[in-house]
Amino acid sequence: MLLRRAGDAAIIAEFSEALDPRAAARARALDAALAAAAPAGLVETMPSLRSLLVRFDPLRISGRTLSALLEELARELPDAPATAPRRFEIPVCYDAPFALDLEEAATRLGMPAEEVIARHSAPIYTVIMVGSFPGHPYLIGLDPKLFLPRRVPPRTRLPAGSVAMAEAMANVYPQETPGGWNILGRTPRALFNPEWEQPALLAPGDEVRFLRISAEEFGA
């Protein structure tokens, strides 16, 4: 673990320079350990692809004290989370009006569109980060046969609910946003609502499966 100062009010505990599922799992474990330790002056934390961001109030805890605590907690991180991950099924319609890039992705990957769908909906994904915009999950576990670069240039507007992939990750766009990922389909399931008690459906560490639905089921 490398501790990086991100200004006077944040520390980044970095577990890898590369995208690494084990590093993300360690970041989540440190997050849980820090939440249990609950030091005074802790403001908020954000586990992400390979690190944990820790924001704190420098008037209530010094960066040095917090760094020492993070070092201490990191020495005794459990290998597996204390509780089983939550599991979600996200319905996806892979039909034409929603599958903006399915045919093109299939061509570039050299496989039939049906195979892209089958491979995309087979794995159990893990949410490795929720970020960039509200409720937006980054998922690992994508079939390596589906790895494709982002689209250049990115689209300026993607419909909310777009289900996509780029490089080694899959995602779902909760709101209409710009984006460069390859769109395979769309989900009718809302992923974010500020009025919900938990505004984001998914949290880092959750498991996700995509469940193929028809256009009729999408509309129902």
Partner 1 sequence: MSLRIEEPGLFSTIQDLGRVGHMRIGVPPSGALDPLALRAANAVLGNAADEAALEMCRLGVTVTVQAESIRFALTGAEGPATLDDLPIAFWRSHTARRGQVIALGRLRGGAAYLAARGGFALAPVMGSRSTYTRAGIGGFQGRRLAAGDVLPLRLHEAPEARERTLPHPVPADRARPLRVILGPQAEMFTDAAMRTLLTEAYEVTRDADRIGLRLRGAPLQHLGRREIVSDGNTTGCIQVPGDGQPIALLPDRQSVGGYAKIATVITADLHRLGQAVPGSLLRFEAVAPEQAEAALWQLERAATQTFAAIREL
Q: Which residues 49-68 are close enough to bind partner 1 by CB under 8 A?
A: 49-51, 53, 55, 58-59, 62-64
SS3 120: helix
82 is a contact residue toward partner 1 (CB under 8 A): no
From 45-53, 76-84, 100-108, 212-220, span contacting partner 1 (CB under 8 A): 45-53
- Give the shortest CB-47-to-partner 1 separation in angstroms: 7
126 is a contact residue toward partner 1 (CB under 8 A): no
**Cis (ω within 30 of 0) for the bond into 154?**
no
SS3 119: helix
Cα–Cα separations (whole angstroms), residue 79 to 33, 46, 149: 12, 19, 32
From 68-76, 109-117, 150-158, 196-204, span contacting partner 1 (CB under 8 A): 196-204
- Give the shortest CB-129-to-partner 1 separation in angstroms: 7
Q: Which of left, alpha, beta for 72 (phi over 0: left; psi -120 to 50: alpha)?
A: alpha
Contacts of 116 (CB under 8 A, 6+ apart): 102, 105, 106, 109, 146, 184
Cα-trace Rg, the chain: 19
Q: Which is nearer to partner 1, 77 or 203 (CB)?
A: 203
The residue ranges that bind partner 1 (CB under 8 A) are: 4-10, 12, 14, 17-19, 43-51, 53, 55, 58-59, 62-64, 129-136, 175, 192, 194-195, 199-200, 203-204
